[in-house]
Amino acid sequence: MKTEVILTHNIVGLGGESDQVRVAAGYARNYLYPQGLAIPVTGANKRRLEALRQRRGEREAHELNTMTELAKSISKLICVVTVKTGEDGKMFGTVTSGMIADQLKTQFDIALDKRKIHLEQPIRTLGEHEVELRLHADVNSKLKVRVESSTPLPTPAAEAGEGKESQRTEKRGRRPETAATTGDKAAAGDRKGAARPDRGARPQRSSKPEGAAKA
């Protein structure tokens, strides 16, 4: 069974202040009326519609100003979301609007309904992504989201350094000969050759006088 009520507060998915809507009688009786969110449609209550419309206008204007300022601030931010990845750099799982909303609250103390964060599909790759925010019916904004790995892969520069280190380790036991080293060895050889007498050269014997030999 349905009944018609006048909303006195904004209810997402149902309506705003001064709207007349039809709802289940039990929902109105057990929730809307006790919470002060709606009133029955009567002649006396209809006289309150103008005051409710004025309250609604003030609320919507305040929300518009708030969301406009938030859009300006949030467009300058970079929200960092850290995820787990495998050795190949591929993510485990995806980044959802709920995760982004949590990080906005943690990093910048911005409380934003995850339904205002519009993702065409969950984020599945590392790096920077631009996410659309639907803050208000008349206010949209963009948010930069940087997805980082909790276990980053080694950079190419680090890998190149490790390769050079291994090459140095392999060559550590052998010292290359330089021009100076070669020259030193040649000079040492010359000194050894000068100090060693020529084995093939024998000293000549002095000839004795013939007279002495006869005697």
- Phi first, then psi, for residue 75 (nearest 5°) are -70, -15
Let me know if residue 95 belongs to a domain. Answer: yes
How far is the CA of 172 from the CAs of 166, 168, 169, 182, 215, in angstroms?
10, 6, 5, 20, 77
Let me know if residue 210 belongs to a domain. Answer: no
Let me know if residue 169 belongs to a domain. Answer: no
Q: Same domain, yes or no, for 60 and 80?
A: no
196 vs 91: which has the higher pLDDT: 91
Q: Same domain, yes or no, for 90 and 141?
A: yes
Q: What percent of the chain stands above pLDDT 70?
A: 70
Residue 169, pLDDT score: 52
Burial of 114 (0-12, 13-18, 19+ CB in 10 A): middle
Residue 73, pLDDT score: 93
Residue 120 has pLDDT above 90, yes or no: no
Range 5-19 burial, b when 16+ CB lie within 10 A, else e: bbbbbbbeebbbbbb
CA dihedral 147, 152, 156, 161 (to 10 degrees): 150
Residue 201, pLDDT score: 47
Residue 214, pLDDT score: 43
Q: Same domain, yes or no, for 58 and 90?
A: no
Is the dihedral angle over the CA atoms 163, 169, 173, 177 positive or is it negative?
positive
User: Of 16, 48, 65, which residue is a domain's last?
Assistant: 65
Pair of tokens at residue 143: 């948010």
Let me know if residue 157 belongs to a domain. Answer: no
Residue 128, pLDDT score: 95
User: What is the number of structural domains in the chain?
Assistant: 2
Give tens-digit pLDDT for 148-183.
998 755 555 555 555 555 555 555 555 555 444 555
Let me know if residue 110 belongs to a domain. Answer: yes
Let me know if residue 195 belongs to a domain. Answer: no
pTM over 0.85: no
Report the distance separating Cα 77 and Cα 73, nearest Å: 7
Provide CB contacts within 8 A for 107, sequence distance 6+: 79, 80
Give tens-digit pLDDT for 57-81.
999 999 999 999 999 999 999 999 9
Residue 208, pLDDT score: 47
113 vs 185: which has the higher pLDDT: 113
Name the residue range of residue 39's domain: 2-65
Measured from the Cβ of residue 183, the count of other Cβ atoms closer than 10 Å reads 10
Give the type of residue at 117. I
Residue 211 has pLDDT above 50, yes or no: no
User: Of 14, 40, 65, which residue is a domain's last?
Assistant: 65
User: Of 31, 65, 99, which residue is a domain's last?
Assistant: 65
Let me know if residue 83 belongs to a domain. Answer: yes
Give tens-digit pLDDT for 123-143.
999 999 999 999 998 999 999
Which CATH number does the domain housing residue 23 bear? 3.40.5.10
Q: Same domain, yes or no, for 45 and 87?
A: no
Q: Same domain, yes or no, for 106 and 137?
A: yes
Q: Same domain, yes or no, for 81 and 144?
A: yes
Please list the alpha-helical segments (H only) found in 75-178: 97-108, 156-170
Q: Which of 128, 73, 127, 140 is nearest to 104 (CA)?
A: 73
Measured from the Cβ of residue 139, the count of other Cβ atoms closer than 10 Å reads 19
Q: Report strand pairing: 20-24 vs 78-83.
A: unpaired
The angle subtended at Cα 42 by Cα 36 and Cα 45, nearest 5°, is 50
Residue 16, pLDDT score: 94
Q: Same domain, yes or no, for 23 and 84?
A: no
Let me know if residue 211 belongs to a domain. Answer: no
Which CATH number does the domain housing residue 88 bear? 3.10.430.100
